[in-house]
Amino acid sequence: MTIVHDGFSATRRVILKGAGAVALVGLGNIPFSLAPAFAAANDKYPEDAFKAKSEADAIKSLYGKTAEPSDKVKLDAPEIAENGAVVPISVSTTLADVTSIAFLVSENPNALAASYKIPAGTMPSVANRLKMAKTSNVIAIVEAGGKLYSATKEVKVTVGGCGG
């Protein structure tokens, strides 16, 4: 009886210890899964934003806020793009404290085309070449001082950029 009694207590203690250990390990796991989420805010490739279909969803996914149009964002894009596979688009801005610049093409299957991180000391201006599936609005987003500003231009595309 004594042995059985001890056995039960020991078993209960072992189980409780084990449960405690598992609980502690479980707690230990949380920072690991949270860390990538925090890192995503700053450093990780914005996979979800690139998967978004609409420009509103892409901007929300990338920045978590909405943009207001600003004439301080100068978007340079051709009126007509003969080759939708290679459309030269650039943006520059006089806004201060720019941390990020992004380009979206509304009528593309996934609106977000490119996003750039602008560390302190880097000029807020980027030139790149994007694919456009068809005539569409091109939107440049500038994140400056924690707020979002945008400029939009319609680019007519004669030959679509997704392959004939």
Partner 1 sequence: MASTIRVRATSSGETTEVQALIQHPMDSGFVKDAKGEVIPPHFIQELTFEHDGKRVFVADWGAAVSKDPYVKFSFKGGKKGDDLKISWVDNKGATDTATAKIQ
Residues that bind partner 1 (CB under 8 A): 45-46, 50, 85-87, 90, 105, 108-110, 112-119, 121-123, 125-132, 161-163
Q: Say if CB 142 and CB 91 are below 8 A apart.
A: yes
Query: CB-wise, 70 or 125, nearer to partner 1?
Result: 125
Joined together, the tokens standing for residue 56 give 């509103």
CA gap 84, 7 in Å, rounded: 77
Shortest Å distance, C-beta 163 to partner 1: 4
Joined together, the tokens standing for residue 152 give 């939009």
Query: CB-wise, 16 or 159, nearer to partner 1?
Result: 159
Shortest Å distance, C-beta 28 to partner 1: 28
Shortest Å distance, C-beta 12 to partner 1: 49
Shortest Å distance, C-beta 43 to partner 1: 9
Joined together, the tokens standing for residue 45 give 């490739």
Query: CB-wise, 13 or 129, nearer to partner 1?
Result: 129
Count CB-CB contacts under 10 A for residue 142.
28
Task: Return the bridge partners of 154, or none.
Answer: 137
